[in-house]
A and B are shown apart, each in its own frame.
Chain A
Amino acid sequence: MTANCNSCRGKERQACTSCPGGQAQRQAEPASASDRRTFLKTTMAAAAAGWLAACDEATREAFFQKHFRELSATEKRDVFARLEREYNKQFKKKVSVGGEPAMDGVEFGYALDLSRCVGCRRCVYACVKENNQSRDPQIQWIRVLEMEKDKGVDLSEANPYYDAEKVPREGHFYMPVQCQQCRRPQCVAVCPVGATWKEPDGIVVVDYNWCIGCRYCMAACPYGARRFNWGEPSIPADEVNPDTHYLGNRPRYKGVVEKCTFCIQRTRKGRYPACVEICPVGARKFGNLLDPASEVRQVIEHKRVFLLKEEINTQPKFYYFYGV
């Protein structure tokens, strides 16, 4: 049965979220103390009153934490501090949680050169490291699709499970897909609790402490950009990126949705996203759409760009183009 697995074709049975083998492996693991705590947390929610009196301060604060956009500046500071304490304890190292707001006069945009991309997947792995994506179960925000040259961009014939050691393959081209940071994001419209929204700089973010895990946004997203924490996410402590943002790469919880944030923790400090930095062929361009001199505006001006599934009218800020 594992060999039929659609996600890993049986190659990574333990790490793969789609494999029954992977699942069995996790089931066999003894429940850790934090597992038990989460379990308690969820079952007792119904009889909240009695339980809340009994549990510790941090859990109570987390339970009653307000919607991020309703927090005052002081409350935000308290929340960040609490999360830092939690992460420090969990990973036994210093993790900082920031909340840099959007800069004025900035709207981020992305451009990706399909004629350069060779499908090496380095962007995928750089993104996993930078953004603290769970290693087991495995979560990756970027999906690179292998397509046949004579079919053009035809998603029904796309293959995400090609062997990255053998790229570029004869007769094929590669198309990385990640959150398109839509101007009209369907995911935001459908969220029943407003746990995901578009920031002033155009980045669509998720409050991992507000998401209830209903996954309606995943049904709504036309780009398959959202990931769900089906199991307890895990990252080896020495691989945790300690420089985090509340709305971005801070470690996530079981049962919530996550996605690409254009590396909000970097880009709001004037740095490039990790995927742009790592790309060995320079296929990825990033910048401020409101600045006529920016790289991404140059691409829009001098190349011809297209949008993925433009007919849906989600109006992505992620432009594909053929540079050569």
Chain B
Amino acid sequence: MLFYRFFLGSLRQITRGSPWYFAWVGFLLLCILVGALGYIDQLKGGLIETNMRDQVSWGFYIGNFTFLVGVAAAAVVLVIPAYIYQWAPIKEIVIIGELLAVSAIIMCLGFVSVDIGRPDRFWHLLPIVGHMNFPSSLLAWDVLVLNCYGALNFVIVTHIVYRLYTRRNYSKRFATPLILFSIPLAVSIHTVTAFVYNGLPGRPFWNSAILAPRFLASAFCSGPAIILILLQLLRRYTQLEIKKEAIWKIAELMAYAMFINLFLLGAEVFREYYSGTHHLLHTKYLYMGAHGSHVLVPYAWLSVACSVIAFFLFLIPKTRKNVVTLNVGAVLIYAGVYIEKGVALVIPGFTPSTLGEIYEYSPSRTELQIAAGVFGLGFLAFTLMTKVAVPIMRGTFHIDSGKAAATTAKTAKTVEAHE
């Protein structure tokens, strides 16, 4: 009953808002529409509507998926200081990180779904009813951990928000074990996604032991980068109180993560170039182009430049604490890691192909459309969830707020009746 009231109240929250809010939601719905139209084309014609081919059999979709798995772990960067160290400034905002994790998982699953050739057979993947190739297939593992992580975060955040709504603290007995479990699970979604690539001996570009550590390092940059920007937007537009210390601490953690990320990248590049085996071709294709093909080259260098500049902006306390340079840094990190973990990871793995052929891939219009749709879906989920969570965090939307309104209305009516 109480939960039903919470549900109704939440519905009221998301259907009311400023014109800016509706404009934003409208924009996201438009993105989803564009994506849906693209997806209808793809269902009709097949994946031939994309520019993926036998030589480059995964592309933009799987690149975005890989990047977003990283974003999903962002929550952990907030969860550890908030719940393990009980650090107040971050504890106040940890919910935002968890909501982002849920939204990122929605987008991850979206990108995997649009990439498969036979979505009508999705049930083959389910355990028991289908025929899940577990534990042999890393993709089966990935489906499992991603769904668990998404569901877990959704349960945790719903519990905490609902408790706040009823003006209680979250249940330590219920939530604490789940929160603790979400930490290794966040690490596992990265590790497993890295192993999906890492475990393939026929793809030397991915078959490197430091791929999983690189995934973790870059995830701890890109996820927080988005959180930093989101927090500042929320602070500006919703009056949600966010302490400067929280933001600076996140930025500091990102500087360390970026250092490790760049170091691991350097170690990889050194090995490739110094040993100079045939496997170097993939790295060369990425950074210098090969056999006259160099679509990725500008993106690869843009990614490196963004990451290096952002690293210094976040390392130097003065620029870390300056609002402008902080945001510039966050955007640069986002861009840098988006390229690095997206196209620059997937495509060079396939180029040259296992038989030495170079097929230059770049996403088709349909792929861009569908990607816009999936991003729209994820951002819409985040927007709606935040729209409910923020007033609860601020204490303006709670169990008595509905009641108070109802009582006022009732009193007003009684008064009217009396008159």
Contacts and interface: CB of A to CB of B under 8 A. Distances in A.
Interface of A: 4, 6-7, 17-18, 23, 26-27, 31, 35, 38-39, 41-43, 45, 63, 67, 70, 137, 143, 145, 154-158, 160, 177, 186, 189-195, 210-216, 218-224, 226-232, 253-257, 309, 312-314
Contacts, number: 190
A193 B130 CA distance: 8
Query: Lowest 8 A-B CB distances belong to which pairs?
Result: A213-B117, A255-B117, A222-B202, A231-B48, A155-B356, A230-B48, A192-B139, A45-B120
Contact of B119 (A45, A70, A216, A223): A45
Contact of B54 (A23, A218, A312): A218
Given A228-B54, A229-B117, A214 B45 contact: no
A186 B200 contact: yes
B268 to A, nearest CB: 19
Interface string B45-63: 1111110111101100000
A229 B46 contact: yes
A222 B115 contact: no
Interface of B: 40, 43-50, 52-55, 57-58, 112, 115-122, 124-125, 130-133, 136-140, 143, 196-197, 199-203, 278, 281, 349-350, 352-360, 364
Contacts of A212: 116-119, 121-122, 124-125
Nearest to A16: B53
Contact of B202 (A158, A194, A312): A312
A181 to B, nearest CB: 15
A186 B202 contact: yes
Contacts of B52: 230
A37 to B, nearest CB: 11
Given A212-B119, A255-B47, 8 more contacts: A154-B278, A156-B356, A191-B133, A193-B125, A214-B116, A224-B54, A231-B47, A255-B116
A193 B122 CA distance: 10
A160 B46 contact: no
Nearest to B359: A6
B48 A190 contact: no
A117 B117 CA distance: 36
A129 B358 CA distance: 27
Contacts of B350: 219
A226 B44 CA distance: 23
Contacts of A154: 278, 356
Nearest to A188: B136
B355 A224 contact: yes
Contacts of B122: 45, 212
B48 A137 contact: yes
Contacts of B196: 216
B46 to A, nearest CB: 4
B44 A35 contact: yes
Nearest to A18: B53
A45 B118 CA distance: 10
A195 B202 contact: no
Contacts of B358: 6
Given A6-B55, A67-B131, A192-B143, A160 B202 contact: no
